[in-house]
A and B are shown apart, each in its own frame.
Chain A
Amino acid sequence: MQRRTFLKAALAGGAALAACGRPRVELPPDRRATRSRVAVLPAASYDADLTDLLLRGLAFFAPEVRGRRVVLKPNYVEFDPRGAINTHPRLVEAAVLAFLRLGAVEVVVAEGAGHRRDTEYLLGASGLDAVLRERRVRFVDLNLDRVAEVVLPTRFTSLGRLWLPRTVLDADLFVSMPKLKMHHWAGVTLSMKNLFGIVPGAIYGWPKNVLHQAGIPGSIVDINAALELPRLAIVDGIVGMEGNGPIQGEARAAGVVVIGDDLPAVDATAARLMGVAPERVDHLRWAGGFLGNVAEERIVQLAESPARLRQEFALPPGFAKLRG
């Protein structure tokens, strides 16, 4: 067993061996489009007109939101005033305004923090609460939401089924809004990994160690494959995190927002923006086999060229193999 694999299993709680290698499973039916489109939009700072920027980006995808309920899922796994852990509240605010302007009947912000149970602290300290109050936006704590049992259609883990929050399952449009970050177990954490935050802590705990025990890459794929509802991703890469993410890495200004309706394709593009070869990230490679497009030749890049904005983010310890 590799040194890193042991450490992953041990830190995840000690089940060990749970996350080794690709599970031997038959791939489910191919859901990939022939081509996917991903928009890469330069954004110098959080003081820019982000609502306008998102409206320009969303125009490429023309999501059907008129009269619909939109659920935004940013990343508030934990808060550290010295760090760059969270999707910036200004980008969340811009997304709220953009979807309302596009005719959404309601925009809900929903998160199930992974490390801290104290949601009042997380929202207050991060500044998200002030935005929610100012814009009169409803927040749903996904850790405490009503749940329904979902049979997982894929078997990248032995989980089989999960309780998932009704707010997500009933959404007309679900928008994953991750931070552009490295991750010391998964390689990268983007719109797909962000879905760990929909798994309810009231059932699975803080942290959601059941997913670690089952294998992080496999859990990411199983959860994403289970959500058969319209989805978008908006990645906050204005300031990202390099190195030992998702909590203790260093802030890295990347000046970019990435938007798309194929989450693996969005994450593959975001990985390339960080100098990571997405095919070398387990969950992206597996998802690229059936769930969405990861191969460069199957992604049409809109707006700015990722090659022009690409930076070499410091990799997490032990992940030198990811450099593309």
Chain B
Amino acid sequence: MSDAVAKLAQSLEARRTPDGGFAAVPGGSPDSESTALVALARHALAADAGREAAHWLAARQRADGAWPFTDAVPEPSWASAWAALALARTGAGAEPLVRAAGWLVAREGRRPGLVARALGRLTHQDERLEQDLTLEGWPWHEAAASWVEPTASALLALRVLAERAPVVGARERIQEGERLLWDRVCVNGGWNYGNRRVLGEALEPFPDTTAFALLALQGSARRAALAESCAALEALLDEKASSLALALGALALELHARGAEPLRARLEEHIERAGPPRETRSVAFALLALGGGAELLRAPS
């Protein structure tokens, strides 16, 4: 175990809550995303190390298969994708995974209605947007549209769950989710939160969302576009890249068979110099990147 990995693993203790969950930042309330990512990161380091966090998750799954973000906010959350993926990778039985997959398949973002779509075509605004608003991905919140990061995490989870928890409709949702991600790709091949253009002007991509999209698009048949997006990600990881961006970048590039070693070296150096990041998800993704955890995010072919 390298010094950086040891520091990262140690820093998780400050985020652990008495009930066995993990908070997004030290001193916070435990939440489903942080606990799921810690379960994955600890599982990558040792086979049973993620068990406590997985138990925390299992105890909080709703009857409909989703997870709330925290105990205080009971509504189903986008973080359900990460919770489901963590349970799948840490050895949960099939029943909770089937429920989770069913919820993910049923979860939809808001789309424009028939009238709005007709007006969009009539006024040529759809062309100016350069995005297909009829495509269905996954939203952050049930009252919102589909965006890149929740679509990417749901896609990845559904693809992993499909092996052990096949549910009706999953294949179609996966295919349309992929189409949505390709529809929202920025002009240079990266992704931001989910708008290519606003008022006709191209928007810039971000490294973290680009890496999430690439994780979700493993195995896509669009090889040339994938190569362009991997190159875009490499270019986005400049000297100001955060530990989160370096970690996600290393994971995405490794899973696309691009050289990730230089990024891992930069991440280690970053951790050595600045210490573990404040956000738990950054710590967890860094542990996955440096601790051999990329395979836990590999989508079945």
Contacts and interface: CB of A to CB of B under 8 A. Distances in A.
B235 interface: no
A210 interface: yes
A144 interface: yes
Interface in A100-132: 115-121, 124-125
Interface stretch (A23-31, A197-205, A222-230): A197-205
Given A147-B72, A205-B78, A125 B240 contact: yes
A125 B192 CA distance: 17
B189 interface: no
A121 B241 CA distance: 7
B143 interface: yes
Given A10-B116, A119-B279, A204 B24 contact: no
Contacts of B278: 119-120
B233 to A, nearest CB: 14
A14 B111 contact: yes
A15 B110 contact: yes
A121 B123 CA distance: 39
B113 interface: yes
Interface in B59-91: 69-70, 72-73, 77-78
Interface string A187-230: 00000000000000111111101101110000000000000000
Interface in B190-232: 192-193, 195, 198-199, 201, 203-204, 206-208
B11 interface: no
A227 to B, nearest CB: 19
A16 B113 contact: yes
A317 interface: yes
A10 to B, nearest CB: 6
Nearest to A12: B145
A125 B119 CA distance: 41
Interface in A128-176: 141, 144-148, 163
A14 B112 contact: yes
Interface size grouping (class) on chain A: 35 or more
Contact of B116 (A6, A124, A184): A6
B198 A13 contact: no
B147 A205 contact: yes
A7 interface: yes
Contacts of B175: none
A16 B112 contact: yes
A110 B80 CA distance: 27
Interface string B103-134: 00000011111011001100101101100010
B51 interface: no
Given A118-B206, A120-B279, A121-B242, A6 B123 contact: yes
Interface string B126-154: 10110001000001110111110110000
Interface in A63-92: 80
16 contacts: A7-B129, A7-B199, A12-B145, A14-B116, A16-B119, A116-B206, A116-B208, A120-B279, A121-B241, A144-B25, A144-B28, A148-B72, A204-B140, A207-B147, A210-B141, A213-B144
Interface of A: 1, 3, 6-7, 9-17, 80, 115-121, 124-125, 141, 144-148, 163, 184, 201-207, 209-210, 212-214, 244, 247-248, 317
Given A1-B119, A120-B278, A205-B78, 13 more contacts: A10-B125, A11-B195, A14-B112, A14-B145, A16-B113, A16-B119, A80-B204, A117-B208, A118-B244, A118-B245, A121-B241, A144-B25, A184-B199
